Amino acid sequence: MNHDEARLLLAELPRGRLDEKTRSELQAHEAGCDECRALTGAYVLFSSALGDEAGGRTDAHPSSEEIVSFALRAESVAAETFTRVATHAGRCVACSGEIETVRKAEESIQPRLVRLAKSSLGRFLMVPQQRFAAALAAAVVILVLGYPAYLGLHRLPRIAAETEGLRQAKDLAEGQVRVLNSELDQTRQRLGRAIRWAGPAQWIFLKEQRRGDRPAEPIRLREDQPFVLIAVQPRLPGSAKNADSCRVEIRSENGDVSWWSDLTIAQVREDLTAFDVVTLPVPATSLPPGDYELRILSGEGPDGVPLLNAGFSIVP
């Protein structure tokens, strides 16, 4: 399995939809290809997010008041609201984090309130008896009214800032998911065309043109054909070693690389021995109408020793 074939199937690997043979070939290619491993990691990383979006989840986040009441286990929280917030927090990382933050803040303020209450009561016990009841009532009113105010002034602004940061991270992740969904849709479309197509493969033989040779006949690709089989006969120098590499490039008339593949001298030599040609499966989408040059270079990079140069044209 070559690199282009593997890229068409990588999106389906984490979903377990490939047969055993295809999966084994894909994993073997992936083990030696950094780009394919990175793509697979991205598909696996966002698989759960893709599933959520595909499932159409529309449940709204609880309000700040509901978050605080649920975290403090207020008796005024209705059973229905309590159940809804608990169910939502079980699957929402952002809301679960807000609830945990409120509870930790409450735990940190409780000791200080206890000390304040003891100090206030001590002072109240020192006042005359006739003023004790009024002073005690005032202390209770201060505690009852001051505690929610303290929560609002000291905890909720920080919680709101943290919530906003989490929402921004969520929006960023959703944007990345939409981009991946778009790429997946395009991959599925290309894969679907490849699966639907069952006709004979178009086979094209390209030979290196020398001075005085007639120009090659223009090539018209068959409609809806996913791949074109291009056969060539590169000249291998006697000093070429099987472990050496060579690069196959197809460049458009403006010099851009439309398609490329890396081979070893051993692969080239084996095909030439068995079939007299080296056959290259090139995606038809890489060859829109225009003029092209196919080059085979020994060694790595664009500065290798040329083994073959063949020009050809694709017409509508």
pLDDT of residue 91: 75
Q: Which residues of 279-293 are buried (b: 16+ CB within 10 A; e: fewer)?
A: ebebbbebbeeeebb
Q: What is the mean pLDDT of residues 182-187?
A: 83
pLDDT of residue 58: 44
pLDDT above 70 for 132: no
Contact (CB, 8 A) for 279 and 271: yes
Q: What is the mean pLDDT of residues 141-164?
A: 63
Q: Which CATH number fits domain 202-315: 2.60.40, 3.90.920, 3.40.50, 1.20.120?
A: 2.60.40
> What is the share, in percent, of the chain residues with pLDDT greater than 90?
19
pLDDT tier, 53 (very low <50, low <70, confident <90, very high otherwise): very low
Q: Tell me how far CA of residue 268 lies from CA of 207, 275, 278, 292, in angstroms.
A: 16, 10, 6, 22
pLDDT above 70 for 296: yes
Contact (CB, 8 A) for 139 and 121: yes
Contact (CB, 8 A) for 71 and 121: no
pLDDT above 50 for 52: no
Q: Can you give the residue ranges of every domain in the chain?
A: 64-190, 202-315
Q: What is the mean pLDDT of residues 4-16?
A: 73
**Alpha helix (H) ranges present in the chain?**
3-9, 20-31, 34-45, 47-55, 64-71, 79-89, 93-125, 129-150, 156-196, 265-275
Q: Which residues touch 39 (CB under 8 Å, ≥6 apart)?
A: 7, 10
Sequence-separated contacts (24+) of 102-105 with Cβ below 8 Å: 102/67, 102/68, 102/71, 102/72, 102/155, 102/159, 103/71, 103/72, 105/151, 105/154, 105/155
pLDDT above 60 for 78: yes
Question: 3-state class of 232 per DSSP?
Answer: strand
pLDDT tens string 216-265:
789 998 877 788 899 999 988 888 888 998 899 999 999 999 999 999 99
d(CA 3, CA 1): 7
pLDDT tier, 45 (very low <50, low <70, confident <90, very high otherwise): low
d(CA 192, CA 214): 39
d(CA 201, CA 87): 55
At which residue do the structure tokens 């990079």 appear? 301
Contact (CB, 8 A) for 296 and 247: yes
